[in-house]
């Protein structure tokens, strides 16, 4: 099931390429990509667009760019109507000898930096794809010991699993920790300029220093040293000589325990924040029936539901802050506050509401390090108007099966004056509408055919019965704890 977060067509001009490069950077930052990956993506797409511009002048007037993904496997795709030219089939072996045209260097950069990319040309449309790499960030470990030989040995033990920073001077280590921070500190107790105990106390005075896991190294195995070490609240200690296996085991155990404690307290915070704002809907309003199921992620997530009854019409909003934990939950509350301010006593068109919310978010920059997808549904009589901003497409369910409702829009807050259009569905007797957050498909088995496994064969006379079947299917496909909030909504008309 493809989710589109951004799509826009541009005139093929240098100004457009510059604007797209800026937008690419913003989108990558909102997806929490590392800077190296952001640099790679912007380089590849800028080179492709530059090549398109300089070698198709007068024959190509536009290009479009899309950010989409399936199960969080995000990719950028550029489409154009220029002359077909596959950058992966170009021979760039001799570019450093100056034997190729000026485009050769750009093509070489594309080949080198986008190994998993794809180019195809069909029916006069060329498509160039740049997949985004999922990166598992290594944790930073600081090791302090006045023995240079041991320092390099410890670094060799850990460097395959961690980013290791070694210091023979405690003062330099303190400066690094204070300005850069780290995920684990390993320090010798007996050092010439200050003892490990003094070093630990100084670290505790830094912001987050007291919460950073800390391990002592010592050649002393007497009880008094061990008791003194316990008094300065460390997580573990190792007695020299130290080999790779115990050092690596202690590092992993200490970090795992710290993460468990952090997750425990984070869950308590999220639970206390979520209790008053748990997504909910009335079971019935006017001619419409509503059924909702919601399960929060283990670390907390950013799903929210907003409902407003105008009398003749109803407004239903399902949103998702991409991210987890208290920050995502806080952002979802802030967005609900924005919605309260935007919605007045006059029914609001879904497209106009999304445009207003997007403009306000762009000016406020509340979500500069995150991303918000949203779907707005306005119900009047048997008519349903739907507008979406980067949110998964809804489905129409009936006795025959199901079909996607084609409505798309850019994620909110990305552009200053972005417009949104709504599609209208006339609901017939027995038909139902299925709306959901991407957590429905983020959490289930990566090897299954998502939408088919969820919706195939689902039938029922009521919205609640259909939702119950959907949710049982969803839960049966879960591999373990939820990594993202999951929310599902089924609505239908009263059968009179």
Q: Work out the widest C-alpha separation in the chain, in whole angstroms.
A: 86
Residue 18, pLDDT score: 85
- At 69, list the tokens: 């993904």
What single string gives the DSSP state of each residue in 392-419?
A: PPPEEE-SS-EEE-----PPTTSSTT--
CB contact burial 352-367 (16+ within 10 A = b; e otherwise) = ebbbbbbbbbbeeebb
Write down the residue that tokens 């829009």 correspond to: 409
**What is the rounded CA–CA span in Å between residue 181 and residue 140?**
8
Q: Could you tell me if 255 and 158 are in contact, meaning their C-beta atoms sit under 8 angstroms apart?
A: no
Instruction: Express each pLDDT in 14-46 by its tens digit.
Output: 888 888 888 888 888 777 788 888 888 988 888
Which residues have a Cβ under 8 Å from the Cβ of 179 and sit 6 or more positions away?
A: none
CATH class of 2-131: alpha beta
**What is the rounded CA–CA span in Å between residue 416 and residue 360?**
9
Pairing between β-strand 73-80 and β-strand 125-131 as defined by DSSP bridges: antiparallel
Q: From 384, 411, 408, 410, select the one nearest 397 (Cα to Cα).
A: 384
Residue 429, pLDDT score: 86
**What is the rounded CA–CA span in Å between residue 71 and residue 449?**
11
Residue 134 DSSP class: P
**What is the rounded CA–CA span in Å between residue 50 and residue 43?**
10
Measured N-to-C along each axis, helices 14-30 and 35-54 cross at an angle, to the nearest 10 degrees, of 160
CATH of 140-271 among 3.40.50.2300, 3.30.428.10, 3.40.50.620, 3.40.50.150:
3.40.50.2300
Residue 276, pLDDT score: 52
- At 475, list the tokens: 């839960």
- At 411, list the tokens: 């994620």
Instruction: Indicate the pTM of the whole model.
Output: 0.67
Pairing between β-strand 163-167 and β-strand 125-131 as defined by DSSP bridges: unpaired
Residue 495, pLDDT score: 67
List the chain pLDDT tens, one digit each, 496 residues: 677 888 889 998 888 888 888 888 888 877 778 888 888 898 888 888 888 888 777 777 889 999 888 766 889 999 998 888 888 887 655 544 443 344 445 677 888 888 889 999 998 899 999 999 876 678 899 999 999 999 999 999 999 999 999 999 999 999 999 988 999 999 999 888 898 889 999 998 998 888 899 999 887 766 676 677 667 778 888 888 899 999 999 999 998 888 878 767 766 665 665 555 677 899 999 999 999 998 877 655 678 888 989 888 999 999 887 755 556 666 666 777 767 766 765 678 899 989 988 888 888 766 555 678 899 999 999 899 999 998 989 999 998 889 999 998 888 888 888 899 999 999 988 899 999 988 777 666 544 556 777 888 888 889 999 999 988 888 777 766 666 778 999 999 986 5
Residue 103, pLDDT score: 46
How many angstroms separate the Cα of 71 from the Cα of each of 445, 446, 450? 10, 8, 9
Which residues have a Cβ under 8 Å from the Cβ of 384 and sit 6 or more positions away?
A: 377, 378, 424, 425, 426, 427, 433
- At 438, list the tokens: 């991407």
Q: What fold characterizes domain 278-493? A: Phosphatase 2c; domain 1 (3.60.40)
Residue 107, pLDDT score: 76
How many angstroms separate the Cα of 280 from the Cα of each of 227, 292, 471? 53, 7, 16
> What do you get for the CA distance between the two ends of the chain, in Å?
35
Residue 105, pLDDT score: 53
The phi, psi pair for 256, rounded to 5°, reads -60, -45
Domain ranges in the chain are: 2-131, 140-271, 278-493
- At 353, list the tokens: 């509401």
């Amino acid at each position: 099931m493809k989710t589109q977060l951004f799509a826009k067509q541009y005139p093929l001009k240098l100004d457009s390429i510059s604007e797209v490069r800026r937008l690419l950077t913003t989108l990558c930052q909102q997806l929490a990509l590392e800077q190296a990956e952001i640099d790679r993506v912007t380089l590849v797409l800028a080179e492709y667009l530059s090549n398109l511009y300089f070698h198709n002048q007068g024959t190509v007037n536009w290009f479009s760019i899309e950010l989409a993904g399936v199960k969080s496997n995000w990719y950028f795709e550029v489409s154009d109507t220029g002359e077909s030219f596959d950058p992966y089939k170009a021979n760039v072996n001799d570019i450093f000898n100056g034997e190729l045209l000026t485009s050769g260097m750009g093509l070489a950069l594309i080949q080198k930096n986008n190994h998993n990319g794809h180019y195809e040309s069909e029916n006069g449309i060329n498509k160039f794809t740049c997949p985004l790499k999922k990166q598992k960030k290594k944790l930073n470990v600081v090791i302090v010991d006045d023995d240079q030989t041991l320092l390099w040995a410890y670094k060799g033990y850990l460097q395959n699993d961690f980013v290791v920073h070694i210091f023979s001077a405690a003062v330099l280590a303190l400066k690094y920790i204070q300005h850069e921070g780290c995920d684990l500190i390993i320090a010798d107790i007996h050092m010439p300029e200050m003892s490990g105990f003094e070093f630990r106390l100084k670290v505790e005075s830094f912001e987050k220093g007291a919460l950073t896991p800390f391990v002592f190294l010592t050649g002393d195995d007497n009880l008094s040293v061990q008791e003194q070490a316990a008094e300065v609240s460390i997580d573990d200690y190792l007695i020299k000589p130290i080999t790779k296996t115990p050092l690596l085991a202690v590092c992993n155990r200490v970090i795992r325990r710290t993460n468990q404690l952090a997750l425990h307290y984070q869950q308590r915070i999220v639970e206390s924040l979520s209790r008053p704002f748990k997504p909910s809907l009335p079971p019935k309003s006017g001619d419409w029936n509503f059924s909702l199921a919601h399960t929060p992620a283990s670390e907390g997530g950013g799903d929210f539901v907003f409902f407003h009854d105008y009398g003749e019409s109803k407004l239903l909003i399902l949103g998702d802050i991409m991210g987890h934990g208290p920050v995502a939950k806080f952002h979802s509350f802030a967005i609900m506050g924005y919605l309260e301010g935007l919605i007045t006593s006059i029914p609001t068109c879904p497209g106009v509401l999304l445009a207003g919310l997007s403009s306000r978010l762009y000016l406020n920059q509340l979500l500069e390090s995150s991303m918000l997808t949203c779907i707005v549904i306005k119900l009047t009589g048997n008519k349903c108007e739907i507008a979406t901003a980067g949110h998964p497409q809804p489905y129409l369910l009936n006795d025959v099966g199901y079909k996607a409702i084609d409505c798309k829009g850019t994620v909110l807050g990305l552009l200053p004056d972005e417009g949104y259009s709504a599609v209208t569905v006339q609901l017939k007797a027995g038909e139902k509408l299925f709306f959901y957050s991407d957590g429905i498909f983020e959490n289930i088995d990566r090897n299954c055919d998502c939408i088919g496994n969820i919706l195939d064969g689902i039938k029922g006379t009521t919205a609640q019965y259909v939702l119950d079947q959907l949710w049982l299917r969803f839960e049966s496909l879960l591999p373990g704890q939820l990594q993202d909030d999951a929310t599902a909504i089924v609505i239908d008309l009263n059968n009179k």
